[in-house]
Chains A and B, each alone.
Chain A
Amino acid sequence: ETGVTQSPTHLIKTRGQQVTLRCSSQSGHNTVSWYQQALGQGPQFIFQYYREEENGRGNFPPRFSGLQFPNYSSELNVNALELDDSALYLCASSQTKLRSTDTQYFGPGTRLTVL
Chain B
Amino acid sequence: QKEVEQNSGPLSVPEGAIASLNCTYSDRGSQSFFWYRQYSGKSPELIMFIYSNGDKEDGRFTAQLNKASQYVSLLIRDSQPSDSATYLCAVNGNDMRFGAGTRLTVKP
| Interface residues, chain A, with chain B CB atoms under 8 Å away | 2, 33, 35, 40-45, 48, 56, 58, 88, 90, 99-109
Chain B interface, >50% SS class: strand
Chain B 67-106: CB-based contact to A (< 8 A → 1; otherwise 0): 0000000000000000000001010111111111100000
| Partner-binding segment picked from B13-21, B37-45, B57-65 | B37-45
Note all chain B residues with C-beta closer than 8 A to A108: 42-43
Mark out the residues of chain B between 40 and 58 whose CB falls within 8 Å of any chain A CB in the assembled complex: 42-46, 49, 51
A40 touches B31 (CB 8 A): no
Chain B interface category by residue count: 20 to 34
- Docked complex Cα distance between A19 and B104 (Å): 34
Known: A101-B31, A101-B32, A108-B43. A42 touches B93 (CB 8 A): no
- Docked complex Cα distance between A40 and B103 (Å): 10
- Docked complex Cα distance between A105 and B36 (Å): 10
List 25 contacting pairs A-B, 8 Å CB cutoff, sorted by A. A42-B4, A42-B90, A42-B98, A42-B99, A43-B98, A56-B94, A56-B95, A88-B43, A90-B43, A90-B44, A99-B92, A100-B32, A100-B92, A100-B93, A101-B31, A101-B32, A101-B51, A101-B92, A103-B34, A103-B46, A104-B46, A104-B96, A105-B46, A106-B43, A107-B43
Chain B 4-33: CB-based contact to A (< 8 A → 1; otherwise 0): 100000000000000000000000000110
A99 touches B94 (CB 8 A): yes
A99 touches B96 (CB 8 A): yes
B44 touches A100 (CB 8 A): no
Given contacts A99-B96, A103-B49, A104-B96, 18 further A-B contacts (CB under 8 A): A42-B4, A42-B99, A43-B44, A44-B98, A56-B94, A56-B95, A58-B95, A90-B43, A90-B44, A99-B92, A99-B94, A100-B93, A101-B32, A101-B51, A101-B92, A102-B32, A103-B46, A108-B43
